[in-house]
Amino acid sequence: MSGLCDGRVVVVTGAGRGLGRAHALAFAAEGARLVVNDLGVGLDGAPGADDPAERVAAEIRAAGGEAVAHGGDIAVSEVAASLVATAVETYGRLDTLVNNAGFLRDRMLVNLDEDDWDAVLRVHLKGHFLPLKHAAAHWRAETKAGRTPDARIVNTSSGAGLLGSLGQGNYSAAKAGVVGLTLVAAAELRRYGVQVNAIAPAARTRMTERTFADTMAAPSVGFDAMAPENVSPLVVWLGSSASAGVSGRVFEAEGGRITVMEGWRAGPSVDKGTRWSPREVGEAALKLLGEAEVPGMVYGA
């Protein structure tokens, strides 16, 4: 039986561990050829001593697949460009980009240093933008050359980006930005044969050890709902030709559950037809709020 991604070339960032590793292995199992990117840093972004990208690439090759490692910092434009170039030079094409790289520096807002803000926004948001930009430029050139691609981008947001999370103002802001970037990219890149979607995963990784402290231990028998491998089938499908027509959407994935997330849209409204006074607008706003749906609770609140 042929794989869902036979012949496709897939780049996965942050693929040395956790969700990224699970995604890379799942794509390879479905016949994709991989560029496995990981800078090899610690949970807080500090330099690490090992080479997880090569370790995962070797794991794929040992299982009979095709994979090369890329150890660069994808939040640097030239390095992000080299990520695309590695795929094209190695395999002759690029079909799917999975943006997954990231780390955490959690603090309550009053204790959050500017450097911690900048570092997290840099890896999560800029680290999505730059690979996306260079991949899109490649696919635009392909389209102009008469070779319209069947391309996919899968971005990684978070429930923190959709609802907020106490102690994660920097991470929540970055992940909310990923959703906005996804919507814009889906609209702009459609003409080049590119579909762009995002996931908001919940799984056991280095980044979620504290968040899911009570459920970290895998069950001895039965279904492990927090295994990162549970998220990867959705990512593989979104990254394949089978997802034709699906773009600009956000999916939540946890265990055996997937949910289409519905973002900001117009709720109750009133139009006076002229300028309000502050007292009038307050009365109107309270009435509208009484008719509106109650927002979801911020994580940790």
Cα–Cα distance measured from residue 141 to residue 125, given in angstroms and rounded to the nearest whole number: 24
Q: Which of 126, 171, 172, 240 is catalytic?
A: 171
Q: Which of 126, 175, 240, 243 is catalytic?
A: 175
DSSP state of 168: B
Strand stretches in 211-277, DSSP E? 250-254, 257-261
Helices (H), the chain: 18-29, 52-62, 77-91, 114-121, 127-144, 159-163, 169-189, 232-238, 278-291
Q: Which of 157, 158, 172, 247 is catalytic?
A: 158
Q: What does the chain come to in residues? A: 301
Q: Which residues contact 256 (CB under 8 A, 6 or more apart)?
A: 223, 225, 230
Q: Are strands 151-156 and 96-98 parallel, antiparallel or unpaired?
A: parallel
Query: Is-catalytic flag, 2?
Result: no
Q: Which residues contact 222 (CB under 8 A, 6 or more apart)?
A: none
Q: What is the largest CA-CA distance in the chain?
A: 70
Cα–Cα distance measured from residue 133 to residue 92, given in angstroms and rounded to the nearest whole number: 19
Query: Is-catalytic flag, 287?
Result: no
With H, G, I as helix, E, B as strand and everything else as coil, classify residue 291. Answer: helix
With H, G, I as helix, E, B as strand and everything else as coil, classify residue 127. Answer: helix
Query: Is-catalytic flag, 158?
Result: yes
Active site residues: 158, 171, 175
